[in-house]
Amino acid sequence: MSEAKSEKEKRKIQSEKKMRDIMTAYYIDAKTARQNNKKVAWITSGGPVEPLIAMDIIPVYPENHGAMIGASKMGVDLCEKAEAMGYSNDLCSYARSDISCATVNGGPIGGLPEPDMLVCCNNICGTVLKWYEVQARYFNIPLFIFDTPFCHTEYTKEAKRYVERQIGEYVAFLEGVCGRKMDQDRMKDVGRISFEGQKLWQEVLDTAVNKPSPMTAFDAFFHLALIVTLRGTQQTIDYYQGLLAEMKDRIRDGIGAIAQEKYRLLWDNLPIWYRMKWLSKKFAEHDACLVADTYTSAWCGAMKYIDENKFLDSMAEAYSRIYLNIGVDEMARMVIAMIDKYQVDGFVLHSNRSCKPYSLGQFDIQRIVEKERNIPCLMIEADMVDERSFSESQISTRIDAFMEIIKDRKKGRA
């Protein structure tokens, strides 16, 4: 008994507490912004946050809030409230829960701080455009749309010109709302810090290459919060340096994320926030570790386009070419690169009815993966926040069957 407990203790990531403290302080800061004469901007998860940090505006992420709502299992109630307001239950559950939450100040932290402005970047989906329109009407505040043309097969020179021009418009928008100029030197610093943070986050994720992996994708979903919400701050760098060191220690000491890692899996799409524990236990029981995922790497996947010394100019391309703003075939290529890099035995796809840009095309990605790498794939139908779309018994059976195939294959190969 006590041994089992210390086993678990050993595997617990120590940085977790620090993370919770940082996030709590961040939300307190955001909630008391008014008293401190600071402005709050709501921004989409893939949006260019660095100019906000440089302008001392507190960025708040409704999607991160959505994740918290999902994880605290308050999603169904808020989604139902949105449905009562007339929003179809087929819409993204982040959007649904945020829209209703704004009107009732519900959810795990009593609602988000009221925004002074909205910044919507459509590089993740068209849903955010509609969602932010709804909120701009509700709060009656200015909305900036950062329009990043979709890169099906290329980032055209026409798109480049358009996105680059919008950077100037974006800065002018922020200066207008705040009534003061942006400090260009500060912006440069923030750009470098953001780049540094992304690099560190990638290094953290890279530690999962080790066998056994020191962390799982479930850990990554948790530790992701900072690179999303506080990208461009020194805090992020300090935190990820600590986390990276901890991961390296674990590798040195041979501590794996799960008790016995026999099989390694790759996860696709958003987490199923309200079933994280259940899913990680379920896979661990099969000695399977989800070592990597396509979601958390989206916040460092476009680094190759960034010039850290000319952040503002180069961010146009980086923000246009993130994982969700590219064609299905390029996504498949990135998935295959991850399969090779992390040496996984199987691929689990969460078909997420909330998120069409992430999910439509998954069947084709699956086919490409099966053809090119010949590894077993499992598609799970669910939703990231709305538990009504989750059938535990069905998914449990399917995971068992999938793991049987993987085990047989591995046996055959060994």
Partner 1 sequence: MDTMTEFREVADQPYGYLQKLKDQTGKKMVGYVCSYTPEEILLAAGAHPVRLFGTKQQIHLADSHLQSYSCSIVRGVLEEGLSGRIGFLDGMVFPHTCDSIQRLSDIWRLNIPFGFHSDLVLPVKLNTPSARDYMTDVLRKFQNDVGRALGVDITDDALQKAIGTMNAIRQSIRDIYEIRSQYPRLMSGADLYTLVRASMMMDRERLAGMLSETVVKMKAKAAGEKPDPSLKRIVLAGGMCNHPDIYPMIEEAGGAVVWDDFCTGARYFAELVAGGDDPAAGIAERLIRRVVCPAKHAGLDRRAKHILRLVKEQNARGVIFLLFKFCDPHAFDYPDIRKSMDEAGIPVLLLEMEDPLPGEGQLKTRFEAFLEMV
Q: Which residues bind partner 1 (CB under 8 A)?
A: 85-88, 90-92, 95, 122, 125-127, 129-131, 133-134, 136-137, 143, 145, 147, 149-150, 152-153, 156, 158-159, 161-162, 165-166, 169, 327-329, 351, 353, 356-357, 359-364, 381
* Nearest of 199, 207, 204 to residue 255 by alpha carbon: 207
> Is residue 316 near ligand SF4 by the rule CB under 6 A?
no
Q: How far apart are CA 22 and CA 230, in angstroms?
A: 10
- Measured on CA atoms in the order 224, 226, 232, 236, is the torsion positive or negative? negative
Residue number with CB closer to partner 1 (128 or 228):
128
Q: Give the one entry of partner 1, ligand SF4, none that residue 130 binds, where binding means its C-beta sits below a cut-off of 5 to 8 angstroms depending on kind.
A: partner 1
| Tokens found for residue 218 | 């479930």
Shortest CB 362 distance to partner 1, Å: 8
Shortest CB 147 distance to ligand SF4, Å: 15
Contacts of 75 (CB under 8 A, 6+ apart): 69, 93, 97, 273, 274, 385, 386, 387
Stretch in the footprint of ligand SF4 (CB under 6 A) among 165-173, 293-301, 325-333, 352-360: 352-360
Alpha helices in 12-92 (DSSP H): 15-31, 50-54, 62-71, 75-84
Given candidates 290, 355, 365, 380, which one binds ligand SF4 under the rule CB under 6 A? 355
Q: Give the one entry of ligand SF4, partner 1, none that residue 86 binds, where binding means its C-beta sits below a cut-off of 5 to 8 angstroms depending on kind.
A: partner 1
Given candidates 135, 354, 366, 389, which one binds ligand SF4 under the rule CB under 6 A? 354
Q: How far apart are CA 375 and CA 409, in angstroms?
A: 9
Residues 90-129 contacting ligand SF4, CB under 6 A: 92, 94, 124-125, 127-128
298: DSSP letter: G
Element (H, E) at 312: helix 311-320
- Measured on CA atoms in the order 260, 261, 263, 268, is the torsion positive or negative? positive
Shortest CB 29 distance to partner 1, Å: 29
Given candidates 358, 362, 399, 403, which one binds ligand SF4 under the rule CB under 6 A? 358
Instruction: Classify residue 21 by burial, with Cβ atoms within 10 Å: 0-12, 13-18, 19+.
Output: exposed
Three-state SS at 37: coil
Q: Give the one entry of ligand SF4, partner 1, none that residue 72 binds, where binding means its C-beta sits below a cut-off of 5 to 8 angstroms depending on kind.
A: none
- Please give the backbone phi and psi of residue 375, each rounded to the nearest 5 degrees, phi first: -115, 150
Q: Give the one entry of partner 1, ligand SF4, none that residue 128 binds, where binding means its C-beta sits below a cut-off of 5 to 8 angstroms depending on kind.
A: ligand SF4
Residues 251-280 contacting ligand SF4, CB under 6 A: 270
Q: Give the one entry of ligand SF4, partner 1, none that residue 318 binds, where binding means its C-beta sits below a cut-off of 5 to 8 angstroms depending on kind.
A: none
Stretch in the footprint of ligand SF4 (CB under 6 A) among 107-115, 225-233, 259-267, 353-361: 353-361
| Tokens found for residue 327 | 């064609």
**Torsion-angle region of 161 (φ positive above 0: left; ψ -120 to 50: alpha; else: beta):** alpha
**Burial annotation 371-404 (CB, 10 A radius, 16+ → b, else e):** eeeebbbbbbbbbbbbbebbeeeebeebbeebbe
Residues 181-240 contacting ligand SF4, CB under 6 A: none
Q: At what angle do helices 62-71 and 75-84 cross, to 10 degrees?
A: 120
> Is residue 294 near ligand SF4 by the rule CB under 6 A?
no
Q: Give the one entry of ligand SF4, partner 1, none that residue 245 binds, where binding means its C-beta sits below a cut-off of 5 to 8 angstroms depending on kind.
A: none
- Residues 34-63, one symbol each (x = binds ligand SF4 by CB under 6 A, - = not), give -----------------------------x
Q: Give the one entry of ligand SF4, partner 1, none that residue 139 binds, where binding means its C-beta sits below a cut-off of 5 to 8 angstroms depending on kind.
A: none
Shortest CB 229 distance to ligand SF4, Å: 15
Q: How far apart are CA 188 and CA 203, in angstroms?
A: 23
Residue number with CB closer to ligand SF4 (74 or 355):
355
Chain centroid offset of residue 284 CA? 23
Residue number with CB closer to ligand SF4 (36 or 88):
88
Residue number with CB closer to ligand SF4 (63 or 246):
63
Residue number with CB closer to partner 1 (161 or 388):
161
- Please give the backbone phi and psi of residue 306, each rounded to the nearest 5 degrees, phi first: -90, 135
Q: Note the residues at the interface with ligand SF4 (CB under 6 A).
A: 63, 92, 94, 124-125, 127-128, 270, 354-355, 357-358
